[in-house]
A and B are shown apart, each in its own frame.
Chain A
Amino acid sequence: MPPFRGTVGAMAGGNRAALEAEALVKRYGEREALRGVSFSASAGELVAVIGPNGAGKTTLLSILAGILKPDGGGVAVEEGRVGWVPQQAALYRRLTVEENLLLFARLEKHEDPRASTEQMLELTDLGERRGEIVARLSGGNQQRINIAIGLLARPRVLLLDEPSVGLDPRQRARLWEFVSGLADDGTTVIFSTHDIQEAERYGGRLLVLADGEALFDGAPAQLREAVRREAPEAADRDFETAFVAYLHHRGH
């Protein structure tokens, strides 16, 4: 299948899907970062992508976001309504918190950019530090702004690449509270994480990637089931240990 990027419905399948990816292949020279990953998500779904370092999570999310072109397969998604929060903060470190938010609110053509900025300042709890240069903020606080900028797109599909890294427990709670709220309102959220508990707790569905292949796609309870089946010796341990044993059994 030639690479394509089209609107939902252009592909065979249910019309309820907000996002569909089929047989995605991505190569970096010799290395195959994705080897034919297919995947779809419907409106309001929260999907967690988990897997070891270098599994291809960022590559997958970047292709879904339209930043990378796949070497094979295609993505069907409603153009222009995909929000993206990259793993590496994408913001202007020499601008203040407020200037960053205002700039992207304006670029997103919000009717009232200042109001959106206020909303995001409140969400990130950075209202008091609005005038500070981003470079002088802690890593976690920079990540908060990184996420807020992604949210400014008011997307139908929100892609978050390891969003909770560097956030303190309180901020994590706020983040997931907000993201869950978005999903309740019909936004499709796809996030990657190394925190298995987080994935299990917030992900309505889990996609397990390893070495560019999808090992598993289903509900958390089903993953527990699969782990118990394939790595019975670790079944009584905590989920993370059991998951590692499961990956080991699968050869990763």
Chain B
Amino acid sequence: MRWLLLKDLQILRRSPLQATLLVLYPVLIAVLVGFAISRDPDKPRVAFLNEVPADSRISVGGEQLPSSNVSDRICRRVECVEVGDREEAEAKVSSGDVLAALILPANLVDKINSLSTLSPGTPKVEVLVNEEDPVKAGLVNDRIDALLAQANLAISRRIATEGSRYLDLVINGGELELLGQRFPILGLRASAQILTALEPALDPRLRASLREVTHFADEARDNLDVAGPLIDRLAQPIAVEKVAVGGSSPPLEIFAIAVAATLTLAFVTVLLVAGSLALEREENAFPRLTRGLVSREALLAEKVLLGVAIGLVVTLLLLAGMQIFVPLQWDRFGLWLVAILAGGGALAAAGAALGAAAREVRAVSLLAFMVTLPIAFLSLVPSGAVGGGVYDAIKVLTAVFPFKPTLQAISAALDSAGSGIGGPLVHLAILIVAYGLLARFALRRFAAV
């Protein structure tokens, strides 16, 4: 068997194009994925016109917020293109230079400040959009909605705090500041105390009525106490508590690396195993070999070994390359090996079945791409992205091909935060046996024309 392995390596060395592709391909993938994950996702370009006077402050209940940091906040989420006036903003939007323009009118802060007065106005911002590209337009709408929701939330919090303060004043008393003047407020609690103190000095006929008033004051105080938290809740009626169900996920960039590694492993092993098996037939060597020199099982094992060995080397090369972009947990190297070997084994067995079934090198290469690529894409479809029935079908399909379990095993091996590696390994072991049997079965009519 080792001589066959040596022979296949010699042949591989003799095919410079193939060998170069085998090395170049993963390097290319590594670089592409590396760049993709180390760069910020593209921010949409948005023209930004801030007409609010620089010295105006958002003030709610005496506290002041500098308005300048509003633009800072906005420009963190989109790429701001500062414009001088409305015309310029409109021109940029219609020329497509920017996706949208955001205009903060001069009276915005005044209107916001009016929210906590007795005659509240409606603060408005203006958004100009160019909806010629529906995808991008949707993106801009989402971002602006998110920004507005945030701004609204921040402001309503302030107002709620303010409301609670007034309420507190009514209950417990204190000083109210209005138009620069201070007014003392007695408060329900103190009122009730005063009334209780007055009670003995009063006419007994009046006492009953007075007791009712005291009672009301107590009652009101108790109930208004409850109103405080209620008003707070108004500011953010629904709190989001995220609970991860069904597997904790590794960080995004680790997942991206696992995808790159699995793609590389899949293409290298499937193509190599299927191709070199088909080559045995194309060179007419298969009948010569299986006439007592090598058993069919040994030949299959040799091909799988070849695929796993080369796949392992290339995948490790890729991971080493990814190290440039993202630090990897090299202390988990043992687990990496296990995951790559198990995944490579299953992919190689699938490649052997493919090669035995397709039998011709050209057909095999085409088929390997036609099978691996869609399965790889389907494996990346998240649950919930498609209808339930379709997702179930995808789940079955991707469980039958070793790509997805390999991806799961490799991401589990790469990151301790991921889910366990045991399940995927068992899955892969089953696939190795299944595809091995399938390949052996397909070899029965392998030599036939």
Residue numbers of A with Cβ under 8 A of B are 65-67, 79-80, 82, 84, 86, 88-95, 99, 103-104, 106-108, 133, 149
Contacts and interface: CB of A to CB of B under 8 A. Distances in A.
Given A67-B447, A95-B11, A90 B292 contact: no
B278 to A, nearest CB: 13
A89 B10 contact: no
Interface of B: 3-4, 6-7, 10-11, 14-15, 283-285, 287-289, 291-294, 447
6 contacts: A90-B285, A99-B10, A103-B6, A107-B3, A107-B4, A107-B294
Contacts of A88: 284
Contacts of A103: 3-4, 6-7
Contact of A79 (B3, B6, B285, B292): B292
Nearest to B289: A107
Given A66-B291, A107-B293, A86 B11 contact: no
Contacts, number: 53
A108 B293 contact: yes
A139 B293 CA distance: 26
Contacts of B4: 103, 107
Contacts of B294: 107
Given A103-B6, A106-B3, 16 more contacts: A65-B291, A66-B291, A79-B292, A84-B288, A86-B288, A89-B284, A90-B283, A91-B284, A91-B285, A94-B11, A95-B7, A95-B14, A103-B7, A107-B3, A107-B294, A133-B14
Contacts of B284: 86, 88-91
B447 to A, nearest CB: 7
B11 A92 contact: yes
Contacts of A90: 283-285, 287-288
Nearest to B11: A94
Contacts of B447: 67
B312 to A, nearest CB: 23
Nearest to B13: A94
B283 A91 contact: yes
A206 B284 CA distance: 28
A84 B290 CA distance: 12
Most buried by B among A92, A93, A95, A149: A92
Contacts of B3: 103, 106-107
